[in-house]
């Protein structure tokens, strides 16, 4: 690892908006928008699959205060996608703002806008809809080539070749392979195969989906929304409304959590349509129930894993088939599935001779899926890591040792990871440090504590990516202002992760100044430089590099002005926190003086915009070890300790990467133990509130011990890689492993509830 000394990087700098949040200042969407606007709500379908035969809004329109009601007859007929992705989007164009065919319980049937919430709620109940109820396809195992088509329409369109075919209920399909899989498998001493299943978890962010829209002074649609993707929202709304992008401006205030949910345009199209048609300001705020039933949860996936190995634990071949359930619409369906294989199989690159990764993404009549932290890697890593733990058990081998024998290492080329070189990889050190912190070698896999309690441990590794290679774009504009302070303008969206602060730290390190000397403006499609958005773990790595490059260029321009002022060569100058000095120390000019000169008879630019994209996506790595206790009489699982060691390159902000890691671990623990999604026979979600959909609280979480074993990634800003998504990926397989060690039962479907644990114990005892 290349050693670097920093003054601002890897420091626990306080978030720039910390005091505003702490003091309860108005910073979120509903805080900053006017209250005198139309209240918009959506009438949702009660059926999983139906055609609207008749819809009568006459009585509803007579409710005092109702302004307009729109149905499928009133909206444009051109299809689009709500997925926030770079154009041309991999996700099919399969949506209308309102459609005559409804495809899941919760699908949009009508838009109601009125001047009070009471009036709108009353009108919603008075809309009369006659449905032709159709048979739905609810089981994603039966969706492919079913006689029931979710999207039979001829206007369905796939812009990219992702193996999509709406007449087969396929949103995507494909295969990637290397080596002679059959021959290698035949030559292995042991071949294991099992199937693993993960549910459609909800992001459960504190701030629900919400959008405000109005017409500005120039007759343009201004959208203020809690979104991660201001530039993509502009394109999506232009497609949906059938208007030029030049007529739309999108800005975002502070986001109260996104975790990928707000990488889709869940609410934006509805108030935007109202405002564009009426010219009046409008606001839509989803309830928690709507966010749970008409949002954009994680893709349900089933993964069949086959692994071939030798008696000494050498893993030679991996075969993975993923069946992904995109639900009623294809948002992020073709892209999430790829990560289930490309971010799991490469973990075992060390001795891998052959692999095959096949996948199908199918349409069904359930809530449409979307992006969620981990973006498919979480599901795939649960399956592959669980399989490796099962292999270690079958071989009577230490599960940490089998990883040390087979893990990807620095300097290797990972065939299953797009043939990218692993130039910065500290996974071996992550595993070693996690073992040391947890006392792995000193403790048995399981021990009887008496009183029906079994204490056990489990382990898992993970990897992710840093942006989408060759696609994601990050840009930064840095400007020198009066008094020598800097303004940094970005298009990335801070959604609570602290990227405004992180990017300011990168700028401050480049410009040899305090972070307080950098003001940050973000996420306005009119004024920010183009940025793909805050997703795919791209902000620090991609946009951060743009900031680094922009600051370096600005320094050159400032040096020209300073050299003119001091009548010296620009090459002989040194930057300090508030001045530019000659190398020999004989003269200096303050940044304030340079700023003043730049505004008087100057032709040298002191505002620089740089755009950056990376041809590679260097993976961050992680090791996680959990210790827990299982009560054999009740099936209750109590977490005792979780050790996480992360390689994210150079941590830019030591506090923020730690809380990012802790937050991701909590979400991973929730996925493993608590968060369940079940459907009735008619396709209705049972867990439509936090009373039913259980997420972990502080009382459910054990001590989380987080450390970093950093590598140095030369293509990242100051050696940084990403950290946002990698941190959710280890809890599920590690916890499943520990529960097996405690009970002797493998749980291959999440969540692993006390009922499942107890029934597994009883079943195991019944077989003896």
In the DSSP assignment, the letter for residue 346 is G
- State pLDDT tens for residues 260-269: 999 999 999 9
Please give the full DSSP string across 668-717, using - where no structure is assigned.
Answer: HHHHHHT----B-TTS-BS--STTTS----GGG---EEEEE-----TTSG
Residue 508 has pLDDT above 50, yes or no: yes
- Residue 687 pLDDT level (bands cut at 50, 70, 90): very high
pLDDT, tens digit, for every residue of 213-227? Answer: 999 999 999 999 999
CB atoms under 10 Å from CB of 130, counted, come to 11
Rg of the chain over all Cα atoms, to the nearest angstrom: 27
| Res 716: pLDDT | 97
- Provide the pLDDT confidence category of residue 1 given band limits of 50, 70 and 90: very low
- For 512-581, the DSSP string reads TS-GGGEEEEE-BTTTSPP---S-TT-IIIIIHHHHHHHHHHHHHHHHHHHHHHHTS-GGGEEE-SSEEE
- Whether the CB-CB separation of 520 and 503 falls below 8 Å is answered with yes
CA–CA separation, 16 vs 4, rounded Å?
25
**What pLDDT score does 571 carry?**
78
Average pLDDT over residues 119-148: 98
Mean pLDDT within 605-629: 97
Give the C-alpha separation, 464 to 442, whole Å.
30
User: Is residue 499 over pLDDT 80?
Assistant: yes
The arithmetic mean of pLDDT across residues 402-407, rounded, is 98
Neighbouring CB atoms inside 10 A of 708's CB total 24
- Does 4 score more than 80 pLDDT? no
Lowest mean pLDDT among 194-198, 271-275, 424-428, 512-516: 512-516
Task: Give the tens place of pLDDT for each residue, 142-171.
Answer: 999 999 999 999 999 999 999 999 999 999
Q: Which tens digits make up the pLDDT trace of 587-605? A: 999 999 999 999 999 999 9
Mean pLDDT of 654-674: 97
Q: Which two tokens stand for residue 361?
A: 């993404």
Q: Residue 766: what pLDDT?
A: 73
Contacting residues for 287 by C-beta, under 8 A, at least 6 apart: 208
pLDDT digits (tens, 9 = 90+) for 430-478: 999 999 999 999 999 999 999 999 999 999 999 999 999 999 999 999 9
pLDDT of residue 339 exceeding 80, the answer is: yes
Q: How confident is the model at residue 764 (pLDDT cuts 50, 70, 90)?
A: confident
Q: What is the mean pLDDT of residues 632-645?
A: 97
What digits encode the pLDDT tens for the residues 86-99?
Answer: 999 999 999 999 99
The β-bridge partners of 173 are 360
For 210, the 3-state DSSP assignment is strand
Reference 209, options 231, 195, 189, 228; nearest CA is: 228
The mean pLDDT value of the chain amounts to 96
Average pLDDT, integer, range 569-573: 81
- 607-612 β-sheet, strand order: 518-522, 486-490, 474-480, 607-612
285-318: b or e for each residue (b if 16 or more CB lie within 10 Å)? Answer: bbebebbbbbbbbbbbbbbbbbbbbeeebbbbbb
Residue 2 confidence (pLDDT): 45
- Cα–Cα distance for residue pair 285/29, rounded to 1 Å: 10
Give dist(CA 457, CA 637) in Å, integer.
12
Please, which pLDDT band fits residue 495 given cuts at 50, 70 and 90? confident
State mean pLDDT over 284-297: 98
- The predicted-structure confidence for 96-115, as pLDDT tens digits, reads as follows 999 999 999 999 999 999 99
Question: What pLDDT shows up at residue 710?
Answer: 87
Average pLDDT over residues 526-531: 95
Q: What is the pLDDT of residue 394?
A: 98
CB 213 within 8 A of CB 221: yes
Q: For the whole prediction, is pTM greater than 0.95? A: yes
What's CA 6's distance to the chain center, in Å? Answer: 29
Neighbouring C-alpha atoms within 13 Å toward the C-beta of 452: 9
């Amino acid at each position: 690892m290349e050693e670097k000394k920093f003054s601002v990087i890897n420091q626990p700098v306080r978030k720039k908006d910390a005091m505003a949040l702490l003091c309860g200042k108005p910073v979120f969407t509903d805080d900053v928008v006017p209250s005198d606007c139309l209240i918009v709500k959506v009438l949702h379908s009660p059926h999983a699959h139906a055609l609207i035969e008749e819809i009568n809004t006459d009585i509803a329109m007579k409710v005092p205060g109702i302004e307009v009601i729109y149905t499928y007859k009133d909206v444009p007929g051109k299809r689009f996608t709500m997925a926030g992705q770079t154009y041309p989007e991999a996700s099919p164009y399969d949506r209308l703002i309102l459609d005559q065919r409804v495809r899941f319980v919760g699908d949009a049937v009508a838009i109601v806008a009125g001047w009070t919430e009471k009036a709108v709620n009353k009108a919603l109940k008075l809309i009369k809809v006659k449905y032709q109820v159709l048979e739905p396809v609810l089981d994603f195992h039966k969706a492919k080539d079913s006689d029931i088509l979710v999207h039979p329409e001829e206007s369905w369109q796939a812009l990219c070749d992702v193996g999509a075919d709406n007449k087969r209920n396929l949103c995507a399909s494909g295969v990637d392979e290397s080596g002679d899989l059959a021959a290698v498998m035949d030559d292995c001493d042991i071949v294991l195969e099992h199937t693993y299943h993960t549910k459609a978890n909800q992001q459960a962010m504190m701030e629900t989906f919400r959008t405000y829209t109005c017409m500005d002074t120039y007759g343009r649609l201004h959208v203020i929304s809690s979104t991660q993707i201001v530039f993509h929202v502009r394109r999506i709304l232009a497609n949906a409304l059938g208007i030029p992008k030049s007529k739309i401006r999108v800005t975002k205030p502070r986001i109260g959590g996104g975790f990928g949910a707000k990488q889709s345009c869940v609410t934006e199209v509805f108030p935007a349509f109202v405002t564009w048609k009426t010219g009046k300001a409008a606001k839509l705020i989803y309830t928690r129930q709507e966010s749970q039933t008409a949002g954009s949860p994680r893709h349900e996936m089933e993964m069949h894993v086959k692994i071939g190995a030798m008696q000494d634990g050498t893993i030679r071949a991996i075969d993975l088939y993923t069946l992904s359930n995109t639900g009623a619409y294809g948002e992020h369906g073709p892209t999430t599935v790829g990560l289930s294989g490309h971010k799991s199989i490469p973990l075992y690159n060390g001795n891998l001779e052959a692999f095959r990764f096949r996948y199908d993404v199918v349409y069904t009549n359930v809530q449409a899926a979307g992006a969620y932290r981990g973006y498919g890697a979480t599901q795939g890593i649960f399956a592959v890591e669980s399989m490796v733990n099962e292999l270690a058990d079958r071989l009577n081998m230490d599960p940490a040792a089998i990883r040390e024998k087979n893990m990807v290492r620095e300097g290797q080329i990972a065939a299953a990871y797009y043939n990218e070189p692993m130039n910065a990889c500290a996974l071996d050190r992550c595993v070693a440090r996690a073992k040391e912190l947890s006392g792995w070698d000193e403790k048995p896999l399981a021990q009887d504590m008496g009183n029906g309690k079994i204490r056990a441990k489990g382990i898992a590794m993970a990897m992710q990516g840093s942006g989408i290679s060759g696609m994601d774009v990050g840009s930064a504009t840095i400007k020198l202002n009066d008094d020598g302070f800097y303004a940094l303008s970005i298009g990335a969206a801070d959604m609570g992760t602290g990227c405004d602060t992180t990017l300011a730290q990168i700028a401050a390190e480049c410009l040899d100044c305090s972070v307080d000397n950098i003001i940050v403006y973000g996420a306005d499609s009119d004024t920010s430089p183009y940025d793909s958005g805050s997703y795919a773990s791209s902000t620090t790595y991609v946009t951060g590099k743009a900031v680094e490059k922009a600051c370096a260029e600005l320094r050159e321009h400032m040096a020209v002005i300073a050299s003119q002022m001091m009548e010296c060569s620009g090459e002989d100058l040194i930057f300090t926190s508030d001045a530019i000095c000659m190398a020999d120390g004989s003269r200096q000019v303050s940044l304030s003086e340079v700023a003043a000169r730049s505004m008087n008879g100057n032709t040298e630019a002191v505002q620089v915009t740089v755009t950056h994209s990376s041809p590679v996506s260097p993976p961050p790595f992680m090791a996680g070890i959990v210790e827990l206790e299982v009560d054999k009489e009740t099936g209750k699982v109590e977490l005792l300790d979780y050790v996480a060691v992360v390689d994210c390159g150079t941590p830019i902000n030591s506090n923020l990467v730690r809380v990012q890691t802790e937050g991701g671990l909590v979400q991973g623990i929730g996925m493993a133990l608590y968060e369940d999604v079940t459907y009735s026979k008619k396709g209705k979600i049972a867990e439509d509130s936090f009373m039913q959909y259980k997420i972990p609280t502080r009382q459910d979480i054990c001590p989380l011990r987080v450390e970093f074993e950093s590598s140095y990634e030369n293509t990242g800003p100051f050696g940084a890689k990403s950290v946002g998504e990698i941190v959710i990926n280890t809890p599920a397989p590690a916890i499943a492993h520990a529960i097996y060690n405690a009970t002797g039962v493998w749980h291959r479907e999440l969540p692993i509830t006390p009922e499942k644990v107890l029934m597994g114990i009883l079943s195991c005892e019944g077989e003896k």
